[in-house]
Amino acid sequence: NKRVNHKRVYRLMKQLKLKAIIRRKTKRYKPFTPEVTAQNILNRSFNETKKNKKWLTDVTEFKLKNGNKVYLSAIYDLGSKTILSYELSSSNNNQLVFNTLDKAVKKVKNTKGIIFHSDRGFQYTSRSFKAKLKEHKMIQSMSRVGCCIDNGPMESVWGMMKSEIYKGNKNFSFINYELALIELAKYIHFYNTNRITLKMAKSIA
């Protein structure tokens, strides 16, 4: 093996326009034991045309300039292809998803038989959340362990949202919580009312 000065390596890489790809450090989550779980009733059956038949949900996070985070919980209706309800909080807890569900339920007269699909996050595997779904006669469905594609459309919503808000800036962060609330509300309104989807494009054509 030949020893080479790191400055020479850097110079040669610069000439050849090569860049090192540094693998991001994997986040470490605290393990927890689910109180309840459910089968994957949805089973990737994403082709739905009637609204309020299948609801998907998840929580995602956004950074603030001060280093803190805000958490966005949303419920996505597969039939209407819209974000039915959402809730923003500085804490990722049970109340965040409870409030999101309460908002969605208020918009629908009859929730009986709606498939409610989520991942196996601690909020969705609590007995309290299970009881809320049972109260509204909804059918609980959960992604399999490590299979985020089981909740694919919801993941796509998050990806699209961050892509369009961040506009390629990987270090993007909101100035403060209040501005995050305003900007996310504006984007969700845009997503539900003005954004041209593939389905809309076909109808226009």
10-residue mean pLDDT series, the chain (205 residues): 69 73 50 83 96 98 96 97 97 96 96 97 95 97 93 96 91 96 96 68 41
> 60 CB contacts (<8 Å, ≥6 apart)?
71, 72, 158, 162
Instruction: Read off φ and ψ for residue 62, nearest 5 degrees.
Output: -130, 145
Distance CA 43, CA 8 (A): 54
Assigned token pair, 35: 């109180």
Q: What is the pLDDT of residue 23?
A: 46
Q: What is the pLDDT of residue 66?
A: 95
Q: What is the pLDDT of residue 8?
A: 74
Q: What is the pLDDT of residue 205?
A: 40
Architecture of domain 54-204 in this structure = 2-Layer Sandwich (3.30)
Distance CA 205, CA 200 (A): 9
User: Residue type for 124, please?
Assistant: Y
Distance CA 174, CA 71 (A): 12
Residue with tokens 């959402």: 86
Distance CA 24, CA 65 (A): 20
Q: What is the pLDDT of residue 5?
A: 74
Cα maximum dimension of the chain: 74
Assigned token pair, 111: 């929730």
Instruction: Read off φ and ψ for residue 4, nearest 5 degrees.
Output: -130, 140
Strand order in the sheet with 139-142: 82-89, 69-77, 54-63, 115-118, 139-142
Distance CA 111, CA 45 (A): 19
Distance CA 126, CA 75 (A): 18
Q: What is the pLDDT of residue 55?
A: 98
